[in-house]
């Protein structure tokens, strides 16, 4: 079956709400062009971003009142490890690294964390929720998307840890320019709507306190904690990054998202929900940023597997389910859990972000 795609990238027409101009270019490509085209073409703008980053880090060093100047959450994958490596290489700074164990971490990723911690002399904290596997299964069964059981606890956990240690700056390895952003985002309001459907919000209070969303909003609004993504301030060459980390730290880095044992299942469930997986989203970002041609991306997509991956058996065993139950969860919907004012505002902000509209108060223009 022929799939209609954007004439510039490989985003399929089945993306909810996607529109094309008279040249067949999707609005996501046009948004990327507005936000990043000048920056990618200008060494001057890129240098300006690095100077801005330098000011942010030095401000954190000067304003920290606790033992640590900044926090870097790490997963054992190349992006977060490179943030840790780069910061320690360029600054005399006290760093607390943080890992949220989603219950699906690969042994090699855990080994990478230990290697980086020892070689860079970093204090490291690893946290998880005692019912993490149950939480993953609950999200899978209710929404068909178990990533919410990791993403939001990861963010809330990192914030709570930074709050406890009075850390003014958190630096992540995510990227507005390079990472794949799917049609549906997840936010704390969505998370607790799912949790309240048969799991129980009170189970989290012992670990996060009674109002983790309120605490985060107040801290962000007051400037108590600043959150940035290092890849937004510099060119991010994944192949070069991997080679440098393996050479300098001796870590072992596999394919993308190798650090999570559930990533193949997550990709498959995404494909069942939208008619396309996370792969064309990631490839489209590579095309937009000039790292890949459209023809190369189409060739990769021709080889994409469409069946439930073999790793579903191990994933199901870990979370206390079966491959059959995993497959059945593909028919679940996330939509019922996007109710409420908080969700509405979060969803609208996401739409503005993806489409690159700069009139919205939280929008972001090119640097």
At 256 the pLDDT is 66
Q: How many residues does this entry show for the chain?
A: 367
Q: Is the pLDDT of residue 282 over 70?
A: yes
Measured distance CA(278)–CA(29) in Å, rounded: 16
Kindly compute the dihedral angle of the four CA atoms of residues 228, 81, 245, 36, in this order, to the nearest 10 degrees. Answer: -30
Whether pLDDT at 351 is above 80: no
pLDDT band of residue 362 (cuts 50, 70, 90) is very low
Identify the residue with better confidence: 357 or 264.
264
CA–CA dist 213, 341 (Å, integer): 14
Tokens of 239: 């192949």
Q: Which helix (H) or strand (E) holds 227?
A: strand 226-229
* pLDDT attached to residue 347: 82
DSSP letters, 179-216, are: S---SS---HHHHHHHHTTTT-GGGGHHHH-S-HHHHH
276's tokens: 């396309």
Rg (the chain; Cα; Å): 20
Q: What does the alpha-carbon distance between residue 29 and residue 16 come to, in Å, rounded to a whole number?
A: 15
Question: Average pLDDT in the 282-290 region?
Answer: 94
Higher-confidence residue: 254 or 120?
120
Q: For residue 353, what pLDDT is reported?
A: 65
Q: Is 228 helix (H, G, I), strand (E, B) or coil?
A: strand
- Torsion region of 310: left, alpha or beta (phi above 0 gives left; psi -120 to 50 gives alpha): alpha
Q: Encoding tokens for residue 100?
A: 């949220």
Q: Which two tokens stand for residue 85?
A: 């490596």
**Taking a C-beta distance cutoff of 8 angstroms, is the pair 96, 68 a contact?**
yes
Is pLDDT of 167 > 50? yes
Helices (H), the chain: 27-41, 43-63, 78-90, 107-120, 132-143, 148-164, 188-195, 205-208, 212-222, 238-248, 263-274, 278-288, 294-302, 312-319, 323-328, 341-355
**CA 249 vs CA 78, 98, 115, 236, 241: distances in Å:** 11, 18, 7, 18, 11
d(CA 180, CA 183): 10
Mean pLDDT across the chain, nearest whole number?
A: 91
Average pLDDT over residues 290-301: 95
pLDDT at position 107: 92
Task: Give CA separation, 270 vs 117, 247, 264, 307, in Å.
Answer: 34, 35, 10, 12
pLDDT > 90 in the chain, percent = 78
Confidence of residue 176 (pLDDT cuts 50, 70, 90): confident
**185 vs 151: CA distance, rounded Å:** 10
pLDDT exceeds cutoff 70 at 361: no
Q: How far apart are CA 284 and CA 263, in angstroms?
A: 19
The answer to whether the CB of 93 falls within 8 A of the CB of 122 is no
Class level of CATH domain 27-337: alpha beta
pLDDT at 125: 97
Structure tokens at 149: 């059981």
What global pTM score does this model have?
A: 0.91
At residue 355, the pLDDT reads 64
pLDDT in tens, 40-82: 999 999 999 999 999 999 999 999 999 999 999 999 999 999 9
Predicted confidence band of residue 87 (pLDDT cuts 50, 70, 90): very high
DSSP character at residue 105: B
Q: What are the residue ranges spanned by the domains of the chain?
A: 27-337
């Amino acid at each position: 079956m022929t799939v209609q795609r954007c004439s510039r990238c490989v985003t399929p027409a089945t993306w909810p709400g996607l529109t094309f101009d008279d040249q067949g270019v999707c609005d996501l490509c046009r948004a990327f062009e507005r936000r990043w085209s000048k920056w990618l073409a200008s060494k001057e703008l890129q240098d300006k971003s690095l100077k801005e980053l330098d000011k942010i880090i030095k401000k954190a060093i000067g304003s920290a009142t606790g033992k640590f100047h900044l926090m870097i959450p790490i997963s054992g994958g190349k992006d977060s490890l490179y943030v840790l490596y780069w910061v320690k290489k360029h600054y005399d700074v006290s760093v607390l690294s943080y890992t949220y164990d989603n219950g699906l971490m690969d042994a090699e990723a855990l080994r990478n964390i230990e290697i980086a911690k020892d070689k860079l002399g970093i204090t490291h904290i690893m946290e998880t929720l005692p019912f993490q596997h149950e939480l993953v299964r609950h999200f899978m069964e209710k929404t068909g998307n178990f990533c919410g059981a990791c993403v939001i606890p990861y963010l809330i956990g990192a914030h709570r840890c930074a709050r406890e240690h009075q850390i003014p700056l958190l630096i992540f390895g995510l990227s507005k320019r390079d990472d794949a952003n799917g049609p549906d985002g997840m936010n704390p309001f969505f998370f607790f709507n799912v949790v309240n459907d048969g799991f129980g919000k009170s189970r989290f209070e012992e670990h996060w306190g009674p109002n983790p969303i309120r605490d985060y909003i107040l801290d962000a609004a007051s400037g108590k904690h600043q959150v940035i993504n290092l890849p937004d301030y510099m060119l991010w060459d994944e192949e070069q990054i991997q080679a440098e980390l393996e050479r300098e730290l001796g870590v072992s880095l596999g394919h993308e998202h190798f650090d999570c044992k559930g990533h193949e299942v997550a990709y498959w469930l995404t494909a069942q929900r939208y008619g396309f997986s996370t792969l064309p989203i990631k490839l489209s970002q590579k095309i937009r940023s000039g790292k890949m041609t459209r023809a190369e991306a189409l060739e990769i997509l021709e080889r994409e597997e469409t069946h439930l991956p073999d790793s579903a058996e191990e994933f199901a065993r870990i979370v206390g389910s079966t491959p059959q139950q995993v497959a059945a969860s593909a028919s679940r919907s996330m939509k019922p859990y996007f109710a409420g004012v908080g969700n509405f505002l979060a969803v609208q902000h996401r739409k503005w972000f993806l489409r690159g509209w700069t009139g919205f108060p939280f929008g972001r223009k090119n640097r």
